[in-house]
Every structure is written in C-alpha cells, then in structure tokens.
Amino acid sequence: MQQQYATPSDLTIDDKANLVDSILKYRTERPTMPLFRKRSHNQWINVTAKHFADEVDAVAKGLVASGIEPGDRVAILSSTRYEWTVLDYAIWRAGGCTVAIYETSAPDQVQWILEDSGAKLLVVENHEHYTKHIRVIDETPTLKETLVIDDHALPALTKRGATVADDELDRRKANALSSDAATLIYTSGTTGRPKGVLLTHANFMAECAATRDAVGAGLAEGKTTLLFLPLAHVFARIIAVASVENGVILGHTNDISNLVNDFAVFKPHYVLSVPRVFEKVYNSAKQKAYDGGKGSIFEKATETAIEYSKATEEGKIGLGLKLRHALFDKLVYGKLRAALGGQCEGAISGGAPLGARLGHFFRGVGIPVYEGYGLSETTAAVTANNDKHQKVGSVGRPVPGVTVAIADDGEILLKGPVVFGGYWRNEAATADAIRDGWFHTGDIGTLDDGYLFITGRKKELIVTAGGKNVSPAQLEDTIRAHPMVSQCLVVGDNKPFIGALITIDPEAVPGWLERHNLPADTPLSELIENEDLKAEIDAAVKEANSKVSNAEAIKKFTILDTDFSIETGELTPTLKLKRNVIHDAHKQAIADLYS
C-alpha cells in the first residue's frame, strides 16, 4: 500500500445496544426535550421526546399485530417526511429491518428490491405510488400487505396494535442485539443491478458517535437542521438517526421548490446536503445578480470570498482584503446567509465531490461547508472536515475508529466499525468488495497529512485511444459551476480525444433570454444554437481545460436540448450521473462528436 492513516477511537458498543435505546431513555429521563419540528398548517411545532417515543411504540405494536416478527423486513417507499422516521424507529422497536426505497424508483427496481429483500410489509407515501407499483405489489410473493401513509397508515397501525401489550415490545427489545440488521439500503445502481447493503444497529451507532466527534458543533444538542434529502439514501438516514442520538432538533421537508422559504421560517443552524444543492444556491445567486445588472459586483464578491478563505487557511489576511471582504459582506454575503434563514453556522456536504472553488466561496461568505466522504457500505461518512480541522478541496480526515489506506493502484481502502459486513444474500459481491479485511471502495484518491483527496472512480476512468487515463469528475464539476449549465458528461473511452455532453439549466433560461433581448418563449432547441450561449459554454469548457493537461482537455462538446433527470433514469435520486444510461440514450450525439 502507498499510504495509510487512522484516527483512533476508544468507542465500545454493547452487544445488547440498539437504536431505540436513546428514545426510550429520553422518554424516561427528559420527556419534554424537543426532538423534532413537524410542519402543521404552515407552522413548525415541536415534537417532544415522550410524544415521539409513544408514537413509535404505538406504531410498533401495530406492526406486531400485522404479523411482523423479529428480523422481518418492512419496506418504506416515500419522500422525506416525519412519518418516515416514525416508521423507521417503529420497525426497529418491533425487531424488524427497514428496507429503504426511493420514491422515484421505477416499478422494475421496486420489484427487484422487494423480492430480493423478501419484504413482508410495504408502506408507500400516497395513492400515486400505490397505483404506479400495483403490478409489483400483486406479484411479490413475500408481501402480505401494503399501507399508504396519506391514507392514515400510522393511525391505522396504532388502532390495530391497541391490544398488543407493552411487554411484547420489551421482550423483543430484551432479545435484540447490536449486530441485528437495522436496514437494507440498495445501491443506486449507476452500474448493474442494485445490491442490498446490510447495515446493523452497531454500524449506525458507531457512525453516530464518530460523526459527533468529527463534526462537533453541527451535532450539538439543541441545534437544528432541516432534512430534505431522500431518506432512502444513507446520508439523509444518518442525519436523521444522528440527530436523534445527539439531541439535534430535526425537521423534514420534501418540497424542494419551496426550500428557500422553508429555510427562512425554520432557520436551521446547519444545512446538510449534496453538492448539487450548493451549486444551485451559488448559480441562482449569480444569475440573480446578472439579471439585476450587478453581475460584475457578484464576480468581484466571489473572488474576494475565495481569496479570503484561502488567506484564512494560510493565517495571513491583509488589511485591504479585510476591507473588501467587509464591503461585500454588506452587499452580497449577508443576503446569501439570510437566504439560508440567517442562523446557519455551517453546512455539511457529501454524496459527491463539492469542488475547492465552491468550498472556498462558501467559507468566504461565512457559511463553511465541511465536506465529507462515505458510501452506503460505510454507513455514510468515513472522513470529514470540521471547524477545527479543514482543508478545502479534501474530504477531511478519517472519523474516529476508521483507517484509510491507498492501494498501489490508487484505490481507497477502508476499515472500521462503520464498514458493513456484506451485501444481502450476495456472497460473490461481498467477496469482491471486502478482501483481507479491507473494503475496496472503487474510488481513487490520495492522502496528505491525513486529509483524503478524491480524484475519481475506477469504473468512471476514461482511457483514450492514446492510452491516457482521464478522471471526468474535475472537468464536469468545473463546467457545472457555470450558472447556465445543469449537467455535464465527459466522454472519450477508446476515442482519440475527450468530448462532453452539456445540458442547460431550465431555471436559468428566462433571465438569460431577458438579458439578451430574446423572446421569452424561445425553445431550447433554438437557444442551444445561439452564438452568445455557445460562447459562454465554450468559456466554461476552456476554464475546465485550464485545470488539466492537454491530453485530458475537452476538444469538442455538444449542448443538448434536453436535461438529464431522475425521471428519465439518467440521474440517481441523489443527482449523480448514470453514465451507462446517458451513453445509451445519447449515443448518436456522442458518435457525432467523433464523426
């Protein structure tokens, strides 16, 4: 191995520990402690520890009455909402294992997950989901019942479980082990069929303890965060569980289009998200500045924020920079902080690379984004930056208990209590992923003073006809920083040069058309031929090319008249590119690059 770095931990998890321990303890010792804020009639009201624990118990009894035995799998297909977390804890209280399914999943994906997991009960969010998956529901042999959250599923379970004694829940709790399965999370399937990642209660508890130590202030009791990522994803799930474990007050929302308004009312202390949301915040602010004729001010403010962040890292902030920063704080930065509710102390980014430029920008405006790294197989974060140790551009140092190593071929290898024990009923995939005690991530990176830098994915590496290895992530991230760009896919495997497919952000189009005195109803098919737009995208490509060698640079690109989306299957629910799907859907456009 080339490099290795470990962060020690003295954490021990009792064999009888369980994720419901914390809520039962809160109910006994601190019943009035606020654990959640729940939206009710456009207001956020506190939910106490006692209320939540009582609700969990009532729903758990309903699951028992429905025939759920310890070890049984119960599937949830829903967007992010309070009821998701209630069900999650109720399943654990009944001794079961939660199977997480994205609400955007196609029927074939849902069918595979239900059949592979052997789920006994399915809870969907609404009748639209039920109707969409009715064939799958009818054809899954292990499935005994399907309930609908919007059709009063939780009150129905509560009523059903009214005759189940408290002793039954206590008996199941007494027999539970920390090594019991807590959840099955199916990989997003960017390549191949999704695999079920089995995570135990011990995995979750180790992750909660490690991230509390690593993140620090962001998981302090009494802080607040608003969860809007899909709970079927491990990152959102660990936010929910770690919030409960550490007394962070958690809100849920699935109304992404209204997120800024929700931030204004909820006023979170911390925002936890994937990089695309931070990119959108930056791009929207930039677009708004240009639309208002203040583009040059925003550009100067951006460069000042980045310069200020870099100077902070070096510990040398000159007087001139301090004065410029103070000026732009009044003109620009304060408005950005206000858009996040005005109380935001920082943010945590995961799920994909953020990029150093955005990291420096947000730190420079007073909202440090602490980037971390992890996978479903590692119960989310295995490395993290924090307020004491941060190196922008890196994904931080290992969280307590984790060892990171770099193999001879550059692959990132991991060990620690947060790492899963294997894939559900898939010995071949497990043997391929865990070798000699090390989990092979498939990601490529380097270590510098313990800080991990991700440089790409082994499976995403492009090898040109000339034999040059190219990691597409840096090129794609830089191009996506342009406010008119929605997505970028770099191509060129076995081709003479590197090319790219670029899509336009529909939300940015109206302002751009207005600034260029073009009709508001100009179709995208016509807009992508506009010379001014092409020149802007060309400049973004040149900016990306300036960061790589000539052999890695994009030589040709094409602008598509449609965007990639979750609905078309071209993006995962966490907005990662499904490269194989995009390659197949746009094979003619790719072929034209090389004709």
* Residue 190 in this model has a pLDDT that exceeds 60: no
The b-or-e profile of 186-215 (16+ CB within 10 A means b, else e) is bbbbbeeebbbbbbbbbbbbbbbbbbbbbb
Cα separations in angstroms, 304 against 329, 339, 493, 543: 10, 20, 38, 19
356-388 pLDDT per residue, tens: 889 999 999 999 999 999 999 999 999 999 888
d(CA 324, CA 351): 34
* Full-model pTM: 0.84
What mean pLDDT comes out for the span 135-151? 97
Please spell the DSSP secondary structure of 238-273, one letter per residue: HHHHHHHHHT-EEEE---GGGHHHHHHHH--SEEEE
> Residue 264: what pLDDT?
87
DSSP state of 387: S
Burial label, 227 (beta-carbon count in 10 A; 0-12, 13-18, 19+)? buried
Classified as helix, coil or strand, 378 is helix
Please spell the DSSP secondary structure of 537-555, one letter per residue: HHHHHHHHHTTS-GGGSEE
Q: Which of 166-170, 231-235, 565-569 has the lowest mean pLDDT?
A: 565-569
Q: Which two tokens stand for residue 451?
A: 């800080």
* Residue 142 in this model has a pLDDT that exceeds 90: yes
> Residue 214: what pLDDT?
74
Classified as helix, coil or strand, 178 is coil
Q: In what order do the strands lie in the sheet with 224-227?
A: 43-48, 34-40, 249-252, 224-227, 270-273, 346-349, 369-375, 380-384, 397-398
H/E run at residue 134: helix 134-139
Classified as helix, coil or strand, 489 is strand
d(CA 89, CA 65): 16
Please spell the DSSP secondary structure of 314-374, one letter per residue: HT---HHHHHHHHHHIIIIIHHHHHHTTS---EEEE-SS---HHHHHHHHHTT--EEEEEE
DSSP E strands: which ranges in 25-175? 34-40, 43-48, 73-77, 97-101, 121-124, 145-148
pLDDT grade for 216, boundaries at 50, 70 and 90: confident
| Residue 140: closest CA among 116, 106, 105 | 116
Q: pLDDT above 70 covers what percent of the chain?
A: 99
> Residue 192: what pLDDT?
59
Cα separations in angstroms, 538 against 363, 498, 503, 532, 578: 28, 15, 13, 10, 24
The pair phi, psi for residue 39, each rounded to 5°, is -75, 130
Domains of the chain: 18-177+224-268 (3.40.50.12780), 275-457 (3.40.50.12780), 462-593 (3.30.300.30)
DSSP E strands: which ranges in 449-573? 451-457, 462-463, 469-470, 485-491, 498-504, 554-559
d(CA 210, CA 401): 7
Enumerate residues 6+ apart whose C-beta is below 8 A from 12: none
Q: Which of 77-91, 316-330, 421-435, 538-552 has the lowest mean pLDDT?
A: 538-552
d(CA 468, CA 149): 52
> Residue 459: what pLDDT?
75
Rounding to the nearest 10 degrees, give the CA dihedral for residues 367, 228, 386, 410: -120
Q: Positive or negative, the Cα torsion across 545, 547, 551, 552?
A: negative
Enumerate residues 6+ apart whose C-beta is below 8 A from 466: 496, 551
437-448 pLDDT per residue, tens: 999 999 999 999
Mean pLDDT (the chain) is 93
The total number of residues shown for the chain amounts to 595
| Residue 473: closest CA among 485, 456, 488 | 456
| Residue 481: closest CA among 278, 269, 310 | 278
78-114 pLDDT per residue, tens: 999 999 999 999 999 999 999 999 998 889 889 999 9
How much of the chain is in helix, strand and coil states, percent to nearest 5? 45, 25, 35
Cα separations in angstroms, 476 against 422, 435, 443, 470, 575: 32, 32, 17, 12, 13
